[in-house]
Amino acid sequence: MTLRSLALILAVGGAGTAVTLVEPWKNSAPAPSEVATQTLTVGDLVVAVTAPGKLFPTLTRELKISKLFQIKKLLVSTGAKVAQGQAVAVLAHSQVLEDILGKVRGAEVDYQSAVKDHALAKELFEAKAIPENDVRDKDVRMQKARIQYQTAQDEFDISASLLGVDAGSVRKGPPFTLRAPIAGFVTKLNGEEGRWLEGDAKTPLMVIADLSKLRIIAKVNIVDVPQLRLGQRVEFTLAGFTPLQGKITSIALEPPAQSEQRDAVMGGQDNANTVEVGAEAEAPASGNVTLGVNGETRVIITERRRVPLIPVDAVVTRNGGKVVYVLDQGAARERPVVLGLRDDMQVEVVSGLQPDARIITQGHLNLRDGAPVRIKGTGAPALAAPSPLADPLSHSSFLPGI
């Protein structure tokens, strides 16, 4: 408004007319800020360290071939459940056991011959046909032959046991029965019926694993290691499977060796800043597990059950303290809060908020106490029931059942 316009208004008003002068720059109130809100929720909060990991059996047995076998018949397949001592394969030939069995048979013949010679010497001595020294010589030879025969038998039994072959079947001649040394599942099978397997200690005919107890191996970032403790709860998850529950049983004291780091980098994973953490887990009742495949390992550091939660982003700092803005009759009201446990998305409210509070979660960063607000997208003033006059309660006061 110019001075000329002001003069015209005064002239029109006349001498007896009251005129009110309005300053246009003082006529408009601040525009309400647009905000988004949500209610205070009650839920569980879990703080965990997450790391890649793999699942392994705690006990395995490899049935290895030391020389030459032919697979006459396979009685199990990969994934089959077997009992200890159950027949798993029939082998048509075993050169190593044949060689050792040949020694056993040779030693047996020598021993039987020595027994006969000793008995004959005793008869001749009693008939005074030979001196007593000859009997002693025959006795010594018989004892040596007995020891050699027993040694050959022990070597054969040990070799058969190491190969998982039934020693009695070998003595009767081929075919030989291969039996499971432990109860579990066949996790690997190398070979097919009719195939000859050359002796190679690096290639087992089959691997049997006891899956009643499983081991989780996780690669945890070294910065998270100070939070870990033996016995902490662990969850291991593979896509499509129910998470396995376990507990930490080992924590490495240092990162892998340089060679392991180099191998890991070549394989696409840099282990230079990780340490190996082991955990034992119970197998699922179904027995359905996948071994050696990458999954997610979560080590539970701390957890809270049924506590008041708000989004982390709803908290702002004012005058060195943490505050939250709540909706109150179209205005934003500042509420100092005491916070507890938090994760990346939510934080526990220990005290400072009423259970029916409507938390402002967006558009609050530049708000001040009492600022007018409206719900985003509505264009209408934001209305909410006024906050109770009583002091805000701690969360234990308004949790259901407390």
The CATH number that applies at residue 354 is 2.40.420.20
Q: Are residues 354 and 321 in the same domain?
A: yes
pLDDT for 299 equals 94
pLDDT for 255 equals 65
Q: Are residues 216 and 281 in the same domain?
A: yes
Question: Could you tell me if residue 140 is inside a domain?
Answer: yes
Domain extent for 327: 33-41+306-397
At 169, which CATH number?
Answer: 1.10.287.470
The tally of domains found in the chain comes to: 3
Q: Are residues 185 and 284 in the same domain?
A: no
Residue finishing a domain among 147, 176, 198: 198
pLDDT for 398 equals 41
Question: Could you tell me if residue 12 is inside a domain?
Answer: no
Long-range contacts of 378-381 (CB under 8 A, 24+ apart): 381/32, 381/330
Q: Are residues 249 and 342 in the same domain?
A: no
Please work out, in degrees rounded to the nearest 5, the angle formed at the alpha carbon of residue 64 by the alpha carbons of 60 and 65. Answer: 175
Q: Are residues 73 and 175 in the same domain?
A: yes
Q: Are residues 194 and 95 in the same domain?
A: yes
pLDDT for 208 equals 92
Q: Are residues 267 and 310 in the same domain?
A: no
pLDDT for 300 equals 92
Integer angstrom CA distances of residue 284 from 171, 182, 194, 210: 42, 19, 36, 13
Q: Are residues 343 and 379 in the same domain?
A: yes
Question: Could you tell me if residue 124 is inside a domain?
Answer: yes
Q: Are residues 194 and 217 in the same domain?
A: no
pLDDT < 50 regions, the chain: 1-22, 25, 258-269, 385-391, 393, 396-402
Q: Are residues 172 and 107 in the same domain?
A: yes
Please work out, in degrees rounded to the nearest 5, the angle formed at the alpha carbon of residue 286 by the alpha carbons of 282 and 288. Answer: 80
Residue finishing a domain among 251, 280, 303: 303
pLDDT for 352 equals 92
pLDDT for 376 equals 82
Q: Is 309 within 8 Å of 348 (Cβ atoms)?
A: yes
Element (H, E) at 316: strand 315-318
pLDDT for 166 equals 65
Question: Could you tell me if residue 21 is inside a domain?
Answer: no
Question: Could you tell me if residue 277 is inside a domain?
Answer: yes
Q: Are residues 286 and 359 in the same domain?
A: no
Residue finishing a domain among 198, 226, 258: 198
Q: Are residues 327 and 261 in the same domain?
A: no
